[in-house]
Every structure is written in C-alpha cells, then in structure tokens.
Amino acid sequence: MSNLEEIAKLSGFSKATVSRVLNKSRHVSPETRAKILQVIREMDYVPNRNAVSLSKGRTMQLGMITTGITEVILPFMTSFVEVAAEHGFQTIIYTSDSDRSRELSAFEDLKQKRVDGLLILTCVNDSAVVSSYGKYGPIVSWQRMDRPDIPSVAMDQYAGYKLAVEHLLSLGITKIANAFGRPSSLNTERRIQAYEDLMSTRGLAARRDWYFKAVYHLEDGQAVVRRLLGLPAAPSAQEQPRREASAAEPGLLAAGAAAASSEDFARSADERAARQRPDGLAQFTADPSRLAGGRSSADPDNDRPDQTFGGGAEAACDLPQAIVCANDYVAAGVLSEARRLGWDVPGQLRIVSFDNMQIAATLGLTSVQNPIRDQAYNAFALLSPGLLGQPISLKPLNFDLLIRETT
C-alpha cells in the first residue's frame, strides 16, 4: 500500500482528496484539510519531491543568477525569494564570480528542466546567448538587457537621479560631484545624462572632472572623499580584489562592453586611489579649506575624466558642495570619511544617496527611494504566465526622494 493510500484509509477520505490537500488546493473544506493533515503529521509523511515534480511536470524551483552577493542586491533577492515561496516555489542561487561557463550551468539547468524559470540579477554572458535559452522556460531580468524577448523589471535611472540633482539645485548647490557605479552600464549612462541635462538647462557647467566610477561599497565612498581632498587612499584599500565582480550592480553593459579590456573591470576605485601622491599632501590638517593643492599633473588619469575612478579636486578652493552617490553604502562611506577629516556635513558638503535602504534612515542620509521590493514582486509576476499558467498583475514603480539631515 502506498503512502497516499494509507493516508486515505486512515483519514477516511479518497486519494483524490488527500492529493488536493498535499498540493495545497483551495477546493477542500477546512475541516477535511485539518483531519488529513493530522494523519499526515502522525505518519510523519514527507512527500517525495521528485515524484511531485514528475506528477506536476514542474520542479517548483526557480534559479537566481548573479555574479556575487552583496548588501546592495540582498533586499531584491530576499523579496523575490519571499514572493516565490508564497506561490510554492523554492529558489536556487547561482553565483558565477563573472565566470561565463560557470554562469551557463544555470541556463543548462533550465534546459534540462531542473528549474522552471530563471531570474537574472547580473549576467556576464552575451544577451544573445541568454536569449537562446528562452525556449526552455521563462527568463526575466533585473539587469537591463538589449533583447526585447527578455523582459526586465529595471527602472529608468534618469528619473530617480533627476530628483537628487533637482533637490540640490533647489538649495542653490551648483558644484556637484557624482559617484557612479558600473562604468559601462545603462544605469550609469542615464544618471550622467540626467545630471548633465539639468546642469545644461540652468546654464551651468557639468563637472566631468568630478565623475567617479566603479564606486560600489562603503570603503569606495571613503576613497572618493580622500581623492577629492588630494589624499592617498587608506592602506587597506589595496586589499580589495575583484571589487566590480562582487558588487553585482545590475545594469546593461553598453555596446562593446563584452569585449572591454580587463583594465576597465579589474582595476578598482581603490587601486587607483591608492597611488602615492607627489604633491606633499600627507601632512593633512583635517581642514579641507587648508589644502594646498589638488591633483598632480603627473597622474596620467587627470586628463581622462571618464576613466574608472577619474576626477579629483582641481585646487584648494575648488571642492564640490555636494556628492550624489551610487547607493546608500557609498554615501555612508562618504559621510563617515568626510566627518572624520573635518569636512562639515551638511555645512560644507551635502550628500544624496540612492535606494533608501535602512542604513539611509539610520544615518540620516537624504536618499532616492528605489522600489526594490516591488521590482522583485514584478520579476515573479513576469515569470508567472509560464509558471502558473496565468499572469499576476504588476505593481506600479516610481522613484521618490526622502530628504534628511545630509542636505
């Protein structure tokens, strides 16, 4: 006698009714469900997942692909796992560490029906390769993809960044530095465009020499401050390998990025900032107004403002009045290092961050509200027709600005 038959005999109900309870069908009365579940508990019965998958034609498992796991993407990951679980799906996380062949194992699992669908957080394989697996199951992306057949829940960063810059301009702040994330992502391109458009409409010069790129983490924010003040990076800054790979910042790689040189992605913000300065600024007095010089002309990156982590203060009296940061953790690093070095926030320096995670409220950071939880919900909703046989309604997505103590 099978377990199903034994449960049916002991509970006094048919195998079909027992099956409906096991499959969490709503077409069972609460009283019947309670009696059958009591028998299941007494028998210590555990359904065979493989057998369930075979009977349903689904594994009830979803794959989540990312180059690495950091504090920046954890809220999205957690929210997606929660909404998937509400619909009976488990989530498997595939981390590639930017290895293309390792990443392809996730897509092969979709092909071989080990997972029912895939969510891409960050992906290093070419989008055409990703698209070729779409026939094996639904795929959705948080990273922007240049393929119309791969739906994405990514939002246009232009609107959010515009809120940040408009807020600063409304305060009379015109000397604005920008700490961006991945150099070749569409998100960064749109943030740059928002900043430059707003400066242009007000007849102000965009300070491209204050563009910092490949800035992802708290210590990167600290390095930005030291760079602006013409100081060498902290000693520990040279001990951070593969920073961009671990950052896992979502965003479409621009055309030609797949063939970009290793210099663009392996040389981190910290490595650049760690170069010893020839301008004698080691004797810093913790007062930005007393700096005697800016960047050294001997630095070959001085004339390359778009290079990763380019930029810096041009002169002692030429410091930004504000920094708009890639995310809340970068802003936390900017805030802590600025205050440690005597740069008054918000008196001399205003700080605006992005995402509005819990750390932003804790530290009093003015931050752009990025609806990450709703984006995660929408990611499952876009997978739902292929998983559930029917669509789930999408949630509206909008940016907002939370004004706090740093501005």
Q: Where are the domains of the chain?
A: 3-47, 58-155+372-397, 157-369
Distances in Å between the alpha carbon of 179 and those of 72, 148, 230? Answer: 15, 30, 16
**Cα(176)–Cα(39) distance, integer angstroms:** 67
pLDDT band at 66 (very low <50, low <70, confident <90, very high): very high
CA 185, 160, 222, 350 dihedral sign is positive
Distance of CA 99 to the CA centre of its chain: 19
Q: What is the pLDDT of residues 292-301, one digit of tens each?
A: 333 333 332 3
Mean pLDDT, the chain, rounded, equals 82
Taking CB atoms within 8 Å and a gap of at least 24, the contacts of 145-150 are: 145/120, 145/252, 146/252, 150/120
Higher pLDDT among residues 176 and 305, named by residue: 176
- Predicted confidence (pLDDT) at residue 61 exceeds the cutoff of 90: yes
pLDDT band at 287 (very low <50, low <70, confident <90, very high): low
Least confident of 19-23, 44-48, 338-342, 383-387: 44-48
pLDDT band at 202 (very low <50, low <70, confident <90, very high): very high
Fold type of domain 3-47: 434 Repressor (Amino-terminal Domain) (1.10.260)
Q: Whole-prediction pTM value? A: 0.72
pLDDT at res. 21? 84
pLDDT band at 253 (very low <50, low <70, confident <90, very high): very low
- Give the angle subtended at the CA of 261 by the CAs of 63 and 210, to the nearest 5°: 95
pLDDT at res. 192? 98
Beta bridge partners of 354: 368
Q: Which residues contact 128 (CB under 8 A, 6 or more apart)?
A: 147
CATH class of the domain at 58-155+372-397: alpha beta
Least confident of 34-48, 120-134, 300-314: 300-314
Taking the CA of residue 278 as centre, how many other CA atoms within 13 Å lie in the half-sphere pointing to its CB?
5
Task: Tell me if 3-47 shares its fold with 58-155+372-397.
Answer: no
Q: What is the pLDDT of residues 149-160, one digit of tens each?
A: 899 998 999 999
User: What are the start-end ranges of the H helices in 44-185?
Assistant: 49-56, 74-86, 100-111, 127-132, 157-170
pLDDT at res. 279? 38
- Lookup: tokens for 117: 């669908």
Architecture of domain 157-369: 3-Layer(aba) Sandwich (3.40)
- Predicted confidence (pLDDT) at residue 24 exceeds the cutoff of 90: no
Nearest to 387 by CA among 115, 45, 142: 115
- Predicted confidence (pLDDT) at residue 247 exceeds the cutoff of 70: no
| Average pLDDT value for residue range 46-54 | 57
Q: What is the pLDDT of residues 101-116, one digit of tens each?
A: 999 999 999 999 999 9
